[in-house]
Structure 1
Amino acid sequence: MEKRLYNATKNGDKNELLYLLQEDAHLLNRFINGHYPETPLHVAVMLGHSKFVDELLTRMPELANELNSRRQSPLHLATAKGHQQIVTRLMQVNPDMCLVCDLDGRNPLHIAAMKGYLDVLLELFYAKPWAARSLMAQGDTILHRCVRCNQLEALKLLVTEGISDQEFVNCLNYEGNTILHMAIVANQTQAIKFLIRREEVDKNRKNKDGFKALDLLSQNQRDEFANDESLSD
């Protein structure tokens, strides 16, 4: 029976799902409490079968809380795929899943930022803004990971929409660098321009090696930013 359910899930066959549930009304119950490496909801979410997802959640909303073998919730997977309609549906069922971290220490907001899915990121952030302040397993903040993944627009969105306190914006990651240090080392010109013009960014903050971020500017970078008044603050 479970194999038939998985086949129906892979095909997004809602009618087959309803037929199987008529045969066995308790079929979905067997996927609660981690008895399987993943649930039909995980599979349907990953494949983007929104109508199938809706039917599963209508009949058993508890599936939204289940984690797969990587400790990923259906919300993690929907976010990673950028399926905003499914993200919205899952958030209606349990918005607290924004706070759950997978084996890599990433919650759904982290994933949305890393992937650059701005609409998904904004929806999750407005629902659970404190989830954005959770550190990942290796000590990166969500802002560090935006720079590491070269997601400038996600970085801008997060800083302008509310993660703008100096302590968080200027904190050091596990490598001992601020986001400005990282942007300069990675030669991310637009990120550098954005950050040095933000009042909350401390350009004098030293990294673990004792260098200010601006000390790391190459000569080419210095020439490019020579006329930027923000560098003299």
Structure 2
Amino acid sequence: MDKKFQEAILNDDVDALHTLLVQNPILLDRATKEPFPNTPLHVAAAAGKTQVAVELATLRPSFARRLNPEGFSPMHLALQHDHFQTARALVTIDPELIRVKGRERITPLHYIAEREGDAELELLADFLCACKRSIEDITSRCQTAVHIAVKSCNIKAFDVLLGWMKRVYLTEVLDWKDEDGNTVLHIAVSTNQPQVVKLLTEDRPFLFKNRPFLGCMYRDRLVKVNAKNFLGKTALDISREGHCDKEIPDMLGTAGTSLTLSQFLSGKLTLFEKCSRYFGIRDEQTGNMILVVATLIATGTYQAALSPPGGYWQDDSDPVTNSTSIVQKPHMAGNMILGGSKVYFFTVLNSLAFYTSIITIWATAIGLLPDTFIVYLSVLILGLTFFVSIIVEFPKANRFAGTLIWAFYEILLLAVLLLPILVWFSHKAIQNRMDATKRRVGSFLESEPRRR
């Protein structure tokens, strides 16, 4: 490297850098001739010269991703020499630099997850918040940042990672396996870390796709305690080999039977999967149109139930008779004026239209479970209100028939809206038993994102 150029970098002098570039415009191009160059940005990052490093990364963005002969990017060098401000500045330019893979596919996130210290913890938190998908990067040994933190017994870094994963709903990463098939729980048990085991196996409120649902009291754990590594051992099996604290087997409890991915795929579709395939609407525009129409029908029929043809009686009346016949039927304030066979005809058809719209919403939302549980709850409450209004408004003389109509439709409504929830719970129970190697964020068993 040119001596003046090197002095400008080491003095963190941006003006001198640009002066040299004006005199020699191809000065930076010389550093890219070799396959694995030690670029000026590598020199600036290793020396902690933040201003020049940012300027070089701006002038030549490709420098920030290049690896030197030792297999390190400028970000790696800044971290190795504890120049955390330089690393933060580079992340500000391009958050994806956190995912640059160096020697043994180690990223800056992997590197900082292994380091101990308050400054390192803050930088780890900054990295996670700056680039969410960096958590899915794995080393050549198929280890995530969580694996590395637990393997190096860096409890504080693990706490940061665990707290972040809970907040961004990515606790599924805890069940990913390394090259030996070990999850984070396997590593925590084999390295005798009761604190980590306790955090991983403590009961928590059941989460629908990692989202709390109405304070449901069903209990679950962050990780699958029955997961097996490639030697066929669960965390409980490892804890019984006699090299860890006696309290760890108690934390793990009794590991249930696991279901391998091949066994799961070889088996028959669950009832939930069958319903999703049959009723699921893949095209987003079609689904939106159906939901709009179904909502309009539900709104119109609900309004018709509240305001039936003829309206309501405004006062109470007893039978009025004369010497020959009754001239006025008895009625109560708030009852329908409509009577006779017409009230049955109107109520049955209106209820049928309302019920059909509810079925349509049910069929459209079933493929999106569990995110649409709140929709099922809202529709159930709406349906209960609708059919209760029928009972209240029916004429007193026809109250028994109205009760039969209400009971019939209410039983159907409860069956339609509660059945998907029960079916999904049974499907979830099977999925919780499944033990598969996962190394990507998101479940491959879920439907692909729909396109417009």
With the shorter chain as reference, the TM-score category is 0.7 to 0.9
Name the residue aligned to 1:209.
Answer: 231
Residue 137 of structure 1 is aligned with which of 135, 140, 146?
Answer: 140
Post-superposition offset of 1:52: 3.2
Distance 1:34 1:94 in 2: 24
Q: Does structure 2 conserve the Cα–Cα contact (< 8 Å) formed by 1:166 and 1:202?
A: no
1:221 aligns with 2:237: no
**What SS does structure 2 have at the residue aligned with 1:104?**
helix
Q: Within 5 Å, which residues of 2 pair with 1:5-154?
A: 5-10=5-10, 12=12, 17=17, 20-21=20-21, 23-32=23-32, 34=34, 37-57=37-57, 59-116=59-116, 117-154=120-157
Post-superposition offset of 1:14: 5.6
User: In the superposition, relative to structure 1, how do residues 168 and 60 fare at CA in structure 2: closer, same or farther (>3 Å)?
Assistant: closer
When structure 1 is superposed on structure 2, of 120-129 and 72-81 the one drifting more is 72-81
Distance 1:129 1:160 in 2: 13
1:195 aligns with 2:219: no
Given residue 199 of structure 2, which amino acid in structure 1 is its aligned partner?
F
User: In the superposition, relative to structure 1, how do residues 99 and 212 fare at CA in structure 2: closer, same or farther (>3 Å)?
Assistant: same
Distance 1:152 1:96 in 2: 26
User: In the superposition, relative to structure 1, how do residues 167 and 54 fare at CA in structure 2: closer, same or farther (>3 Å)?
Assistant: closer
User: In the superposition, relative to structure 1, how do residues 180 and 100 fare at CA in structure 2: closer, same or farther (>3 Å)?
Assistant: same
Distance 1:214 1:82 in 2: 39
In structure 2, the gaps of 5 or more residues are 204-220, 255-452
1:184 aligns with 2:189: yes
When structure 1 is superposed on structure 2, of 12-21 and 145-154 the one drifting more is 12-21
Distance 2:70 2:95 in 1: 20
Q: Does structure 1 conserve the Cα–Cα contact (< 8 Å) formed by 2:65 and 2:100?
A: no
Output one character per residue of 1:41-77: Cα deviation in whole Å (capped at 9) or x when no partner.
Answer: 1122112122332443455454323332244321222
Residue 168 of structure 1 is aligned with which of 170, 173, 179?
Answer: 173
**What SS does structure 2 have at the residue aligned with 1:119?**
helix
**What SS does structure 2 have at the residue aligned with 1:162?**
helix
Distance 1:219 1:209 in 2: 18
Distance 1:165 1:8 in 2: 44
Q: Does structure 2 conserve the Cα–Cα contact (< 8 Å) formed by 1:64 and 1:93?
A: no
Distance 1:162 1:36 in 2: 35
Q: Given the two structures, how large is their TM-score scaled by the length of structure 2?
A: 0.45
Query: What value does the CA root-mean-square deviation take over the aligned residues?
Result: 3.0
In structure 1, the gaps of 5 or more residues are none
User: In the superposition, relative to structure 1, how do residues 34 and 114 fare at CA in structure 2: closer, same or farther (>3 Å)?
Assistant: farther
Post-superposition offset of 1:20: 3.6
Distance 2:236 2:48 in 1: 45
Output one character per residue of 1:14-38: Cα deviation in whole Å (capped at 9) or x when no partner.
Answer: 6754554454343223224656621
Post-superposition offset of 1:139: 1.6
Output one character per residue of 1:197-222: Cα deviation in whole Å (capped at 9) or x when no partner.
Answer: 26211222222223221232237611
Post-superposition offset of 1:180: 1.4
Given residue 158 of structure 2, which amino acid in structure 1 is its aligned partner?
L
Number of residues paired by the alignment?
230
Given residue 197 of structure 2, which amino acid in structure 1 is its aligned partner?
I
Q: Does structure 1 conserve the Cα–Cα contact (< 8 Å) formed by 2:162 and 2:171?
A: no
Distance 1:219 1:48 in 2: 44
Distance 1:73 1:194 in 2: 34
Q: Does structure 2 conserve the Cα–Cα contact (< 8 Å) formed by 1:14 and 1:52?
A: yes
Q: Does structure 2 conserve the Cα–Cα contact (< 8 Å) formed by 1:79 and 1:120?
A: no
Q: Does structure 2 conserve the Cα–Cα contact (< 8 Å) formed by 1:61 and 1:93?
A: no
Given residue 72 of structure 1, which amino acid in structure 2 is its aligned partner?
F
Q: Given the two structures, how large is their TM-score scaled by the length of structure 1?
A: 0.81
User: In the superposition, relative to structure 1, how do residues 33 and 168 fare at CA in structure 2: closer, same or farther (>3 Å)?
Assistant: farther
**What SS does structure 1 have at the residue aligned with 2:179?**
coil
Q: Does structure 2 conserve the Cα–Cα contact (< 8 Å) formed by 1:34 and 1:67?
A: no
Given residue 123 of structure 1, which amino acid in structure 2 is its aligned partner?
D
**What SS does structure 1 have at the residue aligned with 2:105?**
coil
